[in-house]
Amino acid sequence: MIRFPTAQLLRIVVIAAILLWSLAPIGLGVLTSLSTQTDAQAIPARWLPPHATLDSYRSLLGGTGDYRAGGTVSESGAFTHALWNSASITMLSTLAILCVAISAGYAFARLHFPGRGALFWAIVTTTVVPVFTVVLALFGLLADAHLIDRKLGLVLVFVSTTTPLAMWLVHNHVKQLPTEPEEAALLDGCTSWQAFWHVALPQMRSGIAALSAIVVLLVWGEFLIPLLLTSTNASKPVTVLIPEYIGKYTTNYPLLAAAGMLAMLPPTVVALVLNRHIRGMLSGSS
């Protein structure tokens, strides 16, 4: 076997490339966020910040109130409030999506009732509709209900646009679980609801963990929907606030990068802590 060492070497090269490809942009972001504005604008670039500083983080979190550089003004407290908006919108939406999706996904996978197939496909098909199309169409309805620029309005839109996908993932997950425990419970005289609540639900723990993580990442990272539906800092999430730090002529990259790092922290932690579950569910979806 002469080809074996070559194959082995190739694999090591590919793995090194994967690590570099995934981590290099994030590493650059960290370095930039620690630079001063002068070093970040230096030509040729200073890859490692010669004067590392936490100023950018300080001005974002502390809010100096008059952070002027490259035309960027960081209003005092605006960023922390946006973080709070993102967190509260994400938590509320995730909770609602989980309830609706788990209950429907389980019922479509296990219970028999008239119209099951047609309803299931009608809902799943809506996952190919670009969410923006829905939001565009929803805009009038939300305006009538005075839900524009309100966190509640955003939660409502996230629930309606994310539930179909979440439900489909739950459905696939339940299909992979053994049916025997619930059948035994039904023979024991449980109702279908009791079999779901007391027997099936505890078995779905890993799937629910993965689903929560995926929904959190989707909602936290969403940009276009809140861009359309929010206009003031009262309801803007971080994803909408960050592009506002991009200056028209020059950009304060340390500030921008620091904002990016803070905004990616929660999803990164979720992805790293639950990555085994997430991988299980994403790859199971094929």
Partner 1 sequence: MGLGLLKRQVDTGGVTSGRISRSVDVAAQEETWVGMLMVAPAVIITAALVIYPLAKGFQASLGSADASIGGQPRLVGLGNYGDVLRSSTARDAIVHTVIYVALAVTLELTLGLIVAVALHRAFRGRGIVLAILLLPWALPSVVSGVLWRRVFDPDSGLLNSALQQLHLVSHPHVWMASRGWALVFVALVHVWGVLPLVSLILIAGLQSIPEEVYSASAVDGATPLRQFRHITLPLLRPSIAVALTIGTVWAIKIFDEIYVLNGTALNTRSILMEVYNTTFINADFAHGTALALLLTAVTALLAAVYAVAFGRSPT
CB 136 to partner 1: min, Å: 5
Q: Is 186 in the site for partner 1 (CB under 8 A)?
A: yes
Q: Does 48 bind partner 1 (CB under 8 A)?
A: no
CB of 246 to partner 1, least distance (A): 7
Among 2, 112, 117, 144, binds partner 1 (CB under 8 A): 112
Residue 198 interacts with partner 1 (CB under 8 A): yes or no: no
57 binds partner 1 (CB under 8 A): no
Q: Please, which residue, 60 or 156, has the CB nearer to partner 1?
A: 156
Q: What is the full DSSP assignment across 251-275?
A: --HHHHHHHHHHHHHHHHHHHHHTH
- Under the criterion CB under 8 A, does residue 282 sit at the interface with partner 1? yes
Count Cα atoms within 13 angstroms, Cβ side, for 54. Answer: 4
Q: Which of 184, 196, 182 is nearest to 106 (CA)?
A: 196
SS3 content of the chain, % helix, strand, coil (to 5): 75, 0, 25
Q: Which residues contact 62 (CB under 8 A, 6 or more apart)?
A: none
Torsion-angle region of 25 (φ positive above 0: left; ψ -120 to 50: alpha; else: beta): alpha
Among 5, 117, 140, 178, binds partner 1 (CB under 8 A): 140
- Smallest gap, in angstroms, from Cβ of residue 63 to partner 1? 20
Is 250 one of the binding residues for partner 1 (CB under 8 A)? yes
Give the residue, chosen from 21, 144, 178, 232, that forms a contact with partner 1 under the rule CB under 8 A. 21
Is 259 a binding residue for partner 1 by CB under 8 A? The answer is yes
Q: Restricting to residues 157-176, which ones interact with partner 1 according to CB under 8 A?
A: 157, 159-161, 163-164, 167-168
**CA count, 13 A, side-chain hemisphere, 214:** 26
- In this structure, are residues 212 and 50 in contact, taking their beta carbons and an 8 Å threshold? no
